[in-house]
């Protein structure tokens, strides 16, 4: 069946429908990962977006649901040059095509994803529609496409109820704004007891449970749409409890500390982004998925110091907060997909909690 991708600038790509045939309007973003498409699809940070995979062949090793990073797939749409027709891997449970159908993800294949990516790089992230309606009228659909905005995405992706992963070590409170499974898993594998809280849990309730540390997760959308959560994080920030934040959590911590964030032209999404540790000068390859960035110069003087910087474009990738046991990063040390070069940050967080307990 024919399918069409219509961008808000009027560009139309014609391809073939894959997955659900439902018509969707979403923000179109691109990911440069060559593998890890299942982890991408199940990353809650993609809620409210349609993902373009820049690598030309996707799906060659199929789907194994043990690799899912949340309970379901989150993107509104999935855009690829070619989907492998016959996946081959000893762990394969089903094809990517069948997974898109099962998860009701609208997809399009057979389009020039290189040309599409160049448009998004040069003009910036934009909205688009995926439709199988061959009789669409461009002048009628463009206003609808341009009006689209992500809404309530953190509420959609957060856990419904509090959950506990048992452990004999430090007790960590994980505030779930759309957390990938591997954040809690990375802590739990290091012996931590991890209690996962819904995004709108009050700081008072979290602190009443007396955690040794607080983890703020990744998540979707504009950080400034989460100001009620920022108010609670501000209380956690001043509590003296060690805190580590990733991605959206990094942005919300900066807002709580009096800083500002801004939308990027096309964001960072992929498993090959170099970041530099400003203390040691060492560079790491990181997994990233974000469209907003912290403006470190906006944080009041003496409150925080930049800890990591993106080697490609110089944007902020992490902050250390002065006089507080708090540090945050924009990239994903838990990876999935991507390199695990920076997984040592979980060990740093555990050491911070142990030092606080023994002080």
The CA-atom distances, in angstroms, between 246 and each of 97, 295, 319 are 31, 16, 11
Give the other-Cβ count within 10 Å of 272's Cβ: 15
Residue 164, Ramachandran bin (φ over 0: left; ψ between -120 and 50: alpha; else beta): beta
Q: Does the active-site annotation cover 334?
A: yes
Put simply, whether the predicted model's pTM sits higher than 0.95 gets the answer: yes
Q: Which of 27, 69, 232, 334 is catalytic?
A: 334
Flag whether 15 is marked binding: no
Flag whether 289 is marked binding: yes
Which position has the token pair 């290091």? 190
Flag whether 343 is marked binding: no
The pLDDT score that the predictor gives to residue 359 is: 80
| One pLDDT digit (tens) per residue for the chain, 359 residues | 999 999 999 999 999 999 999 999 999 999 999 999 999 999 999 999 999 999 999 999 999 999 999 999 999 999 999 999 999 999 999 999 999 999 999 999 999 999 999 999 999 999 999 999 999 999 999 999 999 999 999 999 999 999 999 999 999 999 999 999 999 999 999 999 999 999 999 999 999 999 999 999 999 999 999 999 999 999 999 999 999 999 999 999 999 999 999 999 999 999 999 999 999 999 999 999 999 999 999 999 999 999 999 999 999 999 999 999 999 999 999 999 999 999 999 999 999 999 999 88
Q: Does the active-site annotation cover 238?
A: no
User: 154-358 domain in CATH 3.40.50.1950?
Assistant: no
The pLDDT score that the predictor gives to residue 218 is: 98
Q: Which of 226, 247, 250, 268 is catalytic?
A: 247
Domain locations along the chain: 2-149, 154-358
Extended strands (E) in the chain: 2-7, 12-19, 24-31, 49-53, 57-58, 77-80, 82-83, 106-109, 126-131, 163-165, 171-176, 193-198, 213-216, 243-246, 260-277, 283-295, 304-310, 316-321, 326-329
Of the candidates 131, 110, 134, the one whose C-alpha atom is nearest the C-alpha of residue 20 is: 131
For residue 226, give the DSSP letter.
G
Q: Which of 27, 39, 332, 336 is catalytic?
A: 332
Spatial separation of the C-alpha atoms in residues 328 and 223, rounded to whole Å: 15
Spatial separation of the C-alpha atoms in residues 131 and 318, rounded to whole Å: 39
The pLDDT score that the predictor gives to residue 173 is: 98
The CA-atom distances, in angstroms, between 259 and each of 9, 208, 216, 255, 342 are 33, 27, 17, 5, 25
Flag whether 219 is marked binding: yes
Q: Does the active-site annotation cover 336?
A: no
Fold classification of 2-149 (topology level):
Glucose Oxidase; domain 1 (3.50.30)
Tokens of 75: 């993107």
């Amino acid at each position: 069946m024919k399918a069409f991708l219509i961008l808000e600038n009027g560009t139309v790509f014609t391809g073939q429908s894959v997955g659900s045939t439902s018509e969707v309007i979403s923000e179109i973003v691109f990911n440069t990962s060559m593998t890890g498409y299942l982890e991408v699809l199940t990353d809650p940070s993609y809620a409210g977006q349609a993902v373009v995979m820049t690598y030309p062949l996707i799906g060659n090793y199929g789907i194994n649901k043990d690799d899912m990073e949340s309970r379901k797939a989150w993107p509104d749409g999935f855009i690829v040059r070619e989907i492998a027709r016959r996946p081959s891997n000893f762990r394969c449970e089903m094809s990517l095509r069948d997974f898109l159908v099962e998860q009701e993800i609208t997809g399009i294949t057979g389009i020039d994803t290189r040309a599409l990516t160049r448009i998004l790089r040069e003009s910036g992230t934009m909205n688009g529609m995926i439709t199988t309606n061959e009789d669409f009228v461009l002048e009628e659909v463009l206003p609808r496409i341009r009006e689209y905005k992500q809404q309530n995405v953190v509420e959609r992706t957060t856990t419904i109820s509090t959950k506990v992963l048992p452990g004999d070590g430090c007790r960590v409170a994980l505030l779930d704004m759309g957390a990938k499974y591997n954040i809690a898993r990375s802590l739990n594998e290091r012996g931590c007891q991890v209690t996962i809280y819904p995004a709108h849990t009050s700081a008072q309730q979290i602190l009443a449970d007396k955690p040794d540390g607080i983890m703020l997760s990744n998540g979707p959308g504009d950080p400034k749409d989460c100001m009620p959560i920022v108010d609670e994080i501000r209380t956690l920030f001043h509590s003296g409890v060690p805190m580590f934040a990733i991605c959206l959590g990094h942005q919300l911590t900066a807002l709580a500390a009096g800083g500002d964030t801004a939308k990027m032209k096309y964001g960072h999404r992929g498993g090959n982004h170099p970041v530099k540790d400003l203390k040691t000068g060492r560079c790491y390859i990181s997994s990233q998925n974000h469209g907003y960035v912290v403006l470190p110069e906006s944080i009041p003087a003496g409150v925080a110091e930049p800890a990591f910087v993106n080697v490609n474009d110089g944007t902020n990738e992490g902050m250390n907060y002065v006089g507080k046991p708090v540090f945050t990063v924009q990239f994903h040390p838990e990876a999935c997909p991507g390199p695990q070069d920076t997984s040592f940050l979980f060990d740093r967080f555990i050491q911070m909690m142990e030092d606080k307990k023994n002080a």
